[in-house]
């Protein structure tokens, strides 16, 4: 009681009014994840000393605490007071699958019940986290399963950065100890949610917070031309990847309907004008579809399109998924395409990760929605029921089919 009496004069809780800093309902708790240091100060109010906001900020972005109660740098009475109006704002684990190659695919539930997918791809010398920027997508790429979901809403900065921080909390990732890459290549078109994406990047790269290097963040876009020019002025600015996927306007418009609005010629002009830093290359992603865009003539046109730009090409063999009318080329066809391109441009094949655990982007969410209608769980190719219900742990799936569940992950 003595501690509280000594600090009340500076720590009185003048809580923000309804409508400020995102509060819309006096009965709702304000998520702190997604607020920068200044916004946390504003949310606490002027009567609190500034170091209280710093303690909360570091607890969320450096220590990645699971709840306000875990912010032990704050006195207990203050944690109790804060807990009546605030929450950390972590997503909730709905499902997670672990592939034989180590890839983990997380289906995360947001506060309003919407679902997004986040993927962890570990490698011997680094880890990569692929995050979503929207619930669903409005672009409508014909080879992408997420297109069938439509667009539900944009994600907030906290929901975008929160995917990275949640994975880091769950599996112990630390960008200061081991290389961590973040790719904005999950569900959604990042440039159609650029304001939230830009803020999420600022939060992730803040050296006083999570401390990720901006060189380790890549944003992938299908080619929203005006937003590419806007992105070029962003600071801090991630690396840019263009999801090209075709070498003629006619072909690209068929595969990517929004290319009718932002033409191939306009896109390539934006790429040529893009201000690359001395250490940077533009990345062109090219999903290989058998019999559609994988011919030798396509490879030669691709070289003509990008050959004068400081860039690299990532070839991505199509990842088959139910309901999509495309096939993956044979391996010899993929390598032949690569050989033609790499004579002029650095060219790499990015083999799909996690193909044995519903690997196509959007497939977990589609599966979840289908189950609600059918009332049954997902099944492996062998017909075995796999990984049903929230908080089930990790289902290991390999060449021999489903194996055992590993211990559950913390669901905070």
* 3 state SS for the chain: CHHHHHHHHHHCCCCCCCCHHHCCCCCCCEECCCCCHHHHHHHHCCCCCHHHHHHHHHHHHCCCCCCHHHCCCCCHHHHHHHHCCEECCCCEEEEEEEECCCCEEEEEECCCCCEEEEEEEEECCEEEEECCCEEECCCCCCCCHHHHHCEEEECCHHHHHHHHHHHHHHHCCCCCCCEEEEEECCCCCHHHHHHHHHHHHHHHHCCCCCCCCHHHEEEEECCCHHHHHHHCCCCCCCEEEEECCCCCHHHHHHHCHHHHCCCHHHHHHHHHHCCCCCCCCEEEEEEECCCCCCCHHHHHHHHHHHCCCCEEEEEEECCCCCCCCCCCCCHHHHHHHHHHHHCCCCEEECCCCCCCCCCCCCHHHHHHHHHHHHCCCCECCCCCECCCCCCCCEEEEECCEEEEECCCCCCC
User: Phi/psi of residue 259, each to 5°?
Assistant: -70, -15
What's the pLDDT tens digit per position in 96-145?
999 888 999 999 999 999 999 999 999 999 999 999 999 999 888 888 88
Q: Which amino acids are annotated catalytic?
A: 117, 361
Distance of alpha carbon 161 from alpha carbon 190, whole angstroms: 13
Mean pLDDT lowest for which of 14-28, 259-273, 329-343, 378-392? 378-392
- 237 and 188 together in one domain: yes
Distant-in-sequence, close-in-space partners of 9: CB < 8 Å, separation ≥ 6: none
CATH code for the domain of 40: 1.10.150.530
Q: Cα(217)–Cα(159) distance, rounded to whole angstroms? A: 16
Q: Is 213 a member of any domain?
A: yes
**8 A C-beta contact, residue 268 and residue 301:** no
Residue pair 402/382 in contact by the 8 Å Cβ criterion? yes
pLDDT for 22 equals 44
> Do 180 and 236 fall within a single domain?
yes
Residue 356 within a domain? yes
Last residue of a domain, one of 87, 122, 141: 87
pLDDT for 19-70, tens place per residue? 444 444 556 899 999 999 999 999 999 888 999 999 999 999 999 999 999 9
Domain membership of residue 156 (yes or no) is yes
For 181, phi and psi rounded to 5 degrees?
-105, 145
32 belongs to a structural domain: yes
List the domain range (segments joined by +) for residue 52: 7-87
The token pair at 356 is 């044995």
* 88, 97 contact by CB (below 8 A): no
CATH of the domain at 164: 3.20.20.70
Task: Give the domain-ending residue among 87, 103, 120.
Answer: 87
Q: Are residues 267 and 296 in the same domain?
A: yes
Query: CB under 8 Å, gap of 24 or more: what pairs does 23-30 form?
Result: 29/84, 29/85, 29/86, 29/87, 30/85, 30/86, 30/87
The per-residue pLDDT for range 63-92, each reduced to its tens digit, is 999 999 999 999 999 999 999 999 999 999
Q: Are residues 237 and 274 in the same domain?
A: yes
Same domain, 178 and 245: yes
Same domain, 183 and 64: no
On whether residue 196 sits in a domain, the answer given is: yes
Which of 63, 87, 111 delimits the end of a domain? 87
In a domain, 377, yes or no: no
Which is nearest to 356 in space by CA: 387, 334, 331? Answer: 387
pTM greater than 0.75 (yes/no): yes
Residues 259, 282 share a domain: yes
Instruction: Look at residue 356 in the predicted model and tell me its pLDDT.
Output: 57
Residues 192 and 317 in one domain: yes
203 and 152 part of one domain: yes
Contact indicator for 288, 337 with CB cutoff of 8 Å: yes
Q: Which residue has the higher pLDDT, 238 or 369?
A: 238
Same domain, 259 and 202: yes
Which token pair is 15?
A: 């809580």
So what's the pLDDT on residue 394?
Answer: 33
Same domain for 72 and 41?
yes
pLDDT of residue 7: 45
Q: Evaluate whether 194 touches 227 at the Cβ level (below 8 Å).
A: yes
User: How many domains does one find in the chain?
Assistant: 2
- Whether 213 and 70 share a structural domain: no
Q: What CA–CA distances, in Å, run from 264 to 253, 297, 336? A: 9, 17, 25
């Amino acid at each position: 009681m003595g501690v509280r009496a000594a600090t009340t004069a500076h720590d009185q809780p003048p809580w923000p009014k309804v409508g400020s800093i995102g509060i819309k309902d006096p009965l709702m708790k304000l998520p702190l994840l997604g607020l920068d240091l200044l916004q946390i100060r504003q949310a606490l109010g002027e009567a609190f000393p500034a170091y209280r906001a710093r303690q909360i900020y570091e607890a969320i972005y450096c220590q990645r605490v699971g709840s306000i109660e875990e912010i032990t740098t704050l006195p207990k009475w203050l944690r109790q007071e804060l807990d009546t109006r605030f929450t950390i704002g972590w997503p909730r684990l709905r499902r997670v699958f672990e592939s034989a190659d180590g890839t983990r695919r997380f289906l995360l539930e947001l506060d309003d019940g919407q679902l997004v997918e986040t993927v962890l791809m570990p490698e011997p010398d680094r880890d990569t986290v692929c995050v979503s920027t929207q619930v669903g997508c409005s672009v409508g790429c014909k080879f992408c399963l997420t297109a069938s979901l439509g667009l539900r809403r944009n994600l907030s900065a906290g929901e975008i950065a929160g995917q990275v921080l949640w994975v880091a909390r769950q599996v112990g990732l630390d960008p200061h100890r081991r290389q961590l890459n973040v790719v904005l290549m999950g569900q959604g078109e990042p440039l159609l949610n650029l304001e939230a994406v830009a803020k999420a990047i600022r939060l992730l790269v803040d050296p006083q917070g999570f401390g990720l290097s901006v060189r380790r963040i890549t944003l992938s876009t299908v080619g929203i031309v005006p937003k590419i020019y806007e992105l070029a002025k962003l600071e801090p600015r991630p690396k840019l990847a263009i999801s090209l996927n075709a070498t003629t306007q006619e072909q690209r418009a068929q595969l990517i309907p929004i290319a009718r609005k932002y033409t191939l010629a306009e896109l390539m002009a934006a790429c040529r004008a893009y201000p690359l830093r001395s250490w940077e290359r533009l990345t062109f992603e090219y999903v290989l579809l058998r019999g559609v865009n994988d011919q030798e003539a396509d490879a030669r046109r691709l070289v003509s399109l990008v050959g004068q730009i400081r860039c690299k090409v990532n070839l991505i063999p199509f990842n088959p998924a139910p309901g999509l009318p495309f096939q993956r080329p044979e391996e010899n066809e993929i390598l032949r395409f690569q050989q033609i391109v790499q004579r002029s441009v650095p060219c790499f094949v990015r083999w799909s990760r996690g193909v044995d655990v519903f690997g196509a982007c959007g497939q977990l969410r589609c599966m979840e929605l289908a189950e609600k209608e059918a009332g049954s769980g997902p099944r492996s190719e062998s017909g075995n029921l796999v990984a049903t219900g929230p908080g089930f742990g990790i289902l290991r799936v390999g060449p021999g089919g489903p194996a055992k569940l590993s211990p559950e992950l913390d669901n905070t």
